[in-house]
Amino acid sequence: MATNKLLWSSKIIGVFFMMLVCTLSANAQFLRTSYFMEGTHYRQQLNPALTPTKGYFNLPVIGAVNATVGSTSLGYQDIIDIIDDGDDFYKSTDFMNRLKDKNKLNVNFSTEILSAGWYKGKNFWSFNIGLRTDIGANVTKNLFTFLNQMDGEGFEENWRTSNYNLSGQKMNIQAYTEVGLGLSRQINSRLSVGGKVKVLLGIGNMDLKFNKVTMSADIPSDARLAQLQDPAYLAANYNTTNKAQELLNEINKYHASLGISATLESSFKGLELVNGEEPDKKYIDDIDFDAGKIGIAGYGFGIDLGASYKILDNLTVSASILDLGFISWKKGATKIANATSPDININVSDYTKDINVDDLTSNDLGKITDAMTKLQTEAEKYYNRAGSNGDIIDYDMLQMEAKDADKSRKSRLASTLVLGAEYGFFNNKLAVGVLSTTRFVQPDALTELTFSANYRPKSWFNVALSYSAIQSAGKSFGLGLKLGPLFVGTDYMFLGKNSNSVNGFVGVSIPLGGRKANKEG
C-alpha cells in the first residue's frame, strides 16, 4: 500500500468552507435593525403589518439587496487563513482550536428584482418579484482532525491503525424566485394586521446527508504480514502451545471496517449527477453543471402573516410568522442517490476459528498463512475504497448511485417566527425596542435577540443602532440609516479579525403617496 497525501481532500474542504462562509449571506433575508424604523418599508420583510409612512417603488435589482456572512465558530481571520495557507489551512493550531464539535454555516442571499408598495384607501398594498437562496451546512471538527492525522508522512500507518467517526456532515441548498402580493390594514388606532401570499418558482434544491461515515482498522505492517505468511517462520517461532496462543491472540485482533450511509436528493435543472460507465463503478463519479439549462424545476406557495398592537400609547407589541409554505419539485428534474455498496467488515477471528493451538500441525500453519493472505487482500480493498487515492469522503468511498425519481418531492421554506416590542418617547420620535427572531433553516434553527434604539423624526430620515447578542457572540453591533431614497444598514458590523457574523443591506427606492392624515403611524 503506497503512501499518498491527501492533496485533493484539503482543496475540496477549503472550497467547501469558502463557498459557505464567503459567498452570499447567512441567517436572514431581512434586516432586523430596520424593524422599528417607521420611515422605511423594508421592515415589512419582517412583519407585513408594519406599514411605512409612504408608498415606494424600489429600483430594479438594487432596490433591496441583502448579504450576510455567519458562522457559529469561524470568523474573518479563519477565511484569511484558508486563503493564505492554501491546502494546509487545517494544519493551523489556531484554526483547529476555534472549531467546535459541530460547526454550523448558513448562507442566504436575497434581492428584489421588482417591488413596489402603495396606499389605496384604508389598505396598503405591496407587490414584489424577488430571488431567494438558502444554503445551510453542519461540518464536524472530526473531519478536520481526520485530515490532520491522515496528511503527511504518517499517512499509511495512520490508515492501518485508525478509528474515525465522520458522521453528521450535512448540506442543504434551496434557490427560488418569489412573486408576492401583500395587503396591510390598520383596523383601528391600536391594531394593524397584514399578510402576503407568494407564488414560488423553484430554481433548485439539494439535500446531502452523511448519516454514517465510520472507519476503524488495526492492520499489521507489510513486513509483519510477510512474516505471518511464511510457514517456515511460523514453525520456527511458534512451536509451543503458549507461543501459538500468543500468535493467535495477536492475529485475532486485526480488523478493518468501513460503514457508509449517505443520501442525496437533487432537484436542479442544469445540474447532472453522472454515474460511472465501468461495470465496477456504477455510482456517481462526477457532477456536471450547465448554466444554460437552468430553468424552473418546481412550483410552490407561501404566506406571511403579521400583527401589531398598541397596548399603551407608547408601548407596542408585534408578531409575525414568515415563509409558511413549500415547493414541490418536478419528478423529471429530480435525482435520488443513496450509498449502494455494502459496509466493509473484516475480522481475522472469523478466519481462525478451526485452529488448534495445542497441536500446531502444518495444516494449522497453512490456515494461519491463508488467513493472513486473505487479510492482506481484503485490507487492500478497504484501503483503496477508504482513501488511498488521496481524497476523503470522495465518490469512490461513498459509492452513491443516482437514479431518476419515481415521484415529485417537496421541501419546506425556511420559516421565521418574529416577536417584537417597542416603547416610544418624545411623541414617538425616539424609541427603544427588543426583537426576537427564530429562523427554521436547515439543518438547524437559528435564533437571534436584537436590542435597538431608533430616532425617526421624519419619514425621509430614520437612524437606528442595534445590538444582536447571539449569532455574533456579542461581538458586533448594527446600524441602519434612511436618507431620502437611500437606505443602508447592517445587523452585524464588520469589525475585522474574528467577526463570526457580518452583513450588509442596501436599498434605493422612489417614494410614492403617504398614508392618509387621519391614520396614525
Alpha helices per DSSP H over 152-252:
155-160, 222-228, 231-237, 241-252
Q: Give residue-wise pLDDT tens across range 428-444.
A: 899 999 999 998 876 66
Q: What is the pLDDT of residues 97-108, one digit of tens each?
A: 778 888 877 777
Q: What's the rounded Cα separation, in Å, for the pair 25 and 504?
A: 9
- Residue 230 located in a structural domain: no
What cell numbers appear for 108 in the block?
442566504
Residue 233 belongs to some domain of the structure: no
Element (H, E) at 403: strand 400-404
How far is 382 from 391, CA to CA, in rounded Å? 14
In a domain, 371, yes or no: no
- What is the reported pLDDT for 288? 81
User: Is the pLDDT confidence value at 172 over 80?
Assistant: yes
Q: Please tell me the distance from the alpha carbon of residue 185 to that of residue 307, in angstroms, as a whole number.
A: 10
Q: Is the pLDDT of residue 515 over 90?
A: no
In angstroms, the CA 312 to CA 44 distance is 22
Least confident of 38-42, 253-257, 273-277, 300-304: 273-277
Pick the range with the lowest mean pLDDT from 122-131, 146-155, 287-296, 393-402: 146-155
Confidence label for 24 from pLDDT (cuts 50, 70 and 90):
very low
Q: What pLDDT score was predicted for residue 192?
A: 95
Cβ atoms of 187 and 150 within 8 Å: the answer is: no
Residue 306 lies in a domain: yes
What integer is the mean pLDDT of 476-492?
Answer: 89
Report yes or no on 369 lying in a domain: no
Residue 146 belongs to domain spanning: 7-219+254-341+399-514
Asked, for residue 358, whether it belongs to a domain, the answer is no
Q: 140, 168 in Cβ contact below 8 A?
A: yes
Q: Is 167 exposed, middle or buried (0-12, 13-18, 19+ CB in 10 A)?
A: middle
CATH number of the domain at 445, please.
2.40.160
Q: Quote the pLDDT of residue 79.
A: 58
Confidence (pLDDT) at 19:
39
Are 184 and 49 a contacting pair, CB within 8 Å?
yes
| Measured distance CA(201)–CA(178) in Å, rounded | 6
Is residue 320's pLDDT more than 50? yes
27 Cβ contact list (under 8 Å, min separation 6): 68, 70, 106, 108, 439, 441, 446, 448, 471, 501
Residue 268 lies in a domain: yes
Range 119-141 burial, b when 16+ CB lie within 10 A, else e: beeeebebebebbbbbbbbbbbe
Is 496 within the bounds of a domain? yes
Confidence of residue 2 (pLDDT cuts 50, 70, 90): very low
Number of separate domains in the chain: 1
Angle (nearest 5°) at CA 514 between 513 and 518: 135
Cα separations in angstroms, 51 against 14, 31, 201, 307, 332: 44, 16, 27, 11, 42
In the predicted model, is pLDDT for residue 412 greater than 80?
yes
